[in-house]
Amino acid sequence: MERRSFLRGALSPGLLAQTNVAGSRNLVVERAVSGTPHVGKVLALITPHLDDGPIFASGTIAKLLKEGYTGYFIRTSNDEKDSFGLTLGETVLANERDTQQFITTLGLKQAFDLAYRNHRMDDVGRSELRGRLIFLFRLLKVDTVFSYDPWGQYEENPDHYVTAQAVEAACWMASGRLDLPEHFAAGLKSQAVSEKYYFARGPQLVNRVVDVGATHETKVACIHSCRTMIDHMVKDTKAALAGRKLTLPSLDAAEYIKLAFESRDAEVGRRHGLTYAEEFHYIGPDHAFDEYIARNAVPL
Ligand SMILES: [Zn+2]
């Protein structure tokens, strides 16, 4: 993530309304369902930084895990720049440890750290990153992904848009017979990723709002698990205030999370009659041939 946007979000809630640029058209509100209808399905959260998923999507992921999904986390950067008062090496280790805490807190099965250098992902070979994601999508048999919106607007962090574009392309190429065919010799099979939940820091096309009221506490715990990054946010805020000869004695991690993130989910929820909600650009399975198949398909 990036510090300034948190402050903007925390201190100027009115800006949050801008995130939905075409929300009313074909908007679906996804609510909790009973039972475990998603047993056998696999989701992957793919982000450059540890805190991206907890902040934007962990309420929805917690809901889907409760409903039967198995989940994985693929962290594409090494988060070496995100701490306060630590060296670069100490920062990598601290965020690596926090990553383990996050996957335990959310109930994900495993984390894969691709470990590209933080803030330098525009140096990464796009086809290399895409190839690594295709390998993991096939290995883990990923049905559903969560990531940054590759079409999100005003995104300033190269780690975010490079990862987002690689995810989007890998989703369809993973199903290709002639893309990286050596995987098949190693026993993997092609894999179609059929559902995508994309989130964004700036304006995006929102067509899916997810009721995360029932998983709000888990989400807050997930954000707390990004201990090094939240500490960075709090101390950066205090350092900026100190420059103005001000201090906020009451500002700690819990207060910051409430101001910057819980208030955002509450504001999104309020617009849809919910207590807390997350919003996405959702792309689902292609049903274009369903009717034709129903009318004409015969047993093989
Ligand atoms: Zn980020």
Cα–Cα distance measured from residue 300 to residue 297, given in angstroms and rounded to the nearest whole number:
9
Q: Provide the residue range defining the domain that includes 166.
A: 3-21+32-284
In a domain, residue 217? The reply is yes
* Residue 161 CA, ligand 1 centroid: distance in Å: 10
In a domain, residue 289? The reply is no
Contacts of 13 (CB under 8 A, 6+ apart): 263, 264, 267
* Residue 287 CA, ligand 1 centroid: distance in Å: 33
First to last CA, the chain: 50
Q: Give CA separation, 157 vs 48, 177, 195, 284, 290, in Å.
A: 10, 33, 25, 27, 39
* Residue 82 CA, ligand 1 centroid: distance in Å: 10
* Residue 139 CA, ligand 1 centroid: distance in Å: 25
Mean per-residue pLDDT pooled into runs of 10, the chain (300 residues): 44 38 72 95 98 98 98 98 97 98 98 98 97 98 98 95 98 96 97 97 96 98 98 96 93 97 97 97 93 95
* Residue 286 CA, ligand 1 centroid: distance in Å: 30
- pLDDT of the residue at 24: 52
* Residue 298 CA, ligand 1 centroid: distance in Å: 48
* Residue 51 CA, ligand 1 centroid: distance in Å: 7
Q: What is the CATH number of the domain that holds 231?
A: 3.40.50.10320
- pLDDT of the residue at 83: 98
pLDDT tens per residue across span 134-180: 999 999 999 999 999 999 999 999 999 999 999 999 999 999 999 99
pLDDT tens per residue across span 54-72: 999 999 999 999 999 999 9
* Residue 14 CA, ligand 1 centroid: distance in Å: 22
In a domain, residue 73? The reply is yes
In a domain, residue 214? The reply is yes
* Residue 141 CA, ligand 1 centroid: distance in Å: 25
In a domain, residue 292? The reply is no
- pLDDT of the residue at 1: 57
* Residue 147 CA, ligand 1 centroid: distance in Å: 10
Overall number of domains in the chain? 1
* Residue 201 CA, ligand 1 centroid: distance in Å: 9
* Residue 295 CA, ligand 1 centroid: distance in Å: 47
Instruction: Enter the pTM of the model.
Output: 0.91
Q: Which of 143, 139, 147 is nearest to 60 (CA)?
A: 147
In a domain, residue 300? The reply is no
- pLDDT of the residue at 12: 35
In a domain, residue 299? The reply is no
In a domain, residue 220? The reply is yes
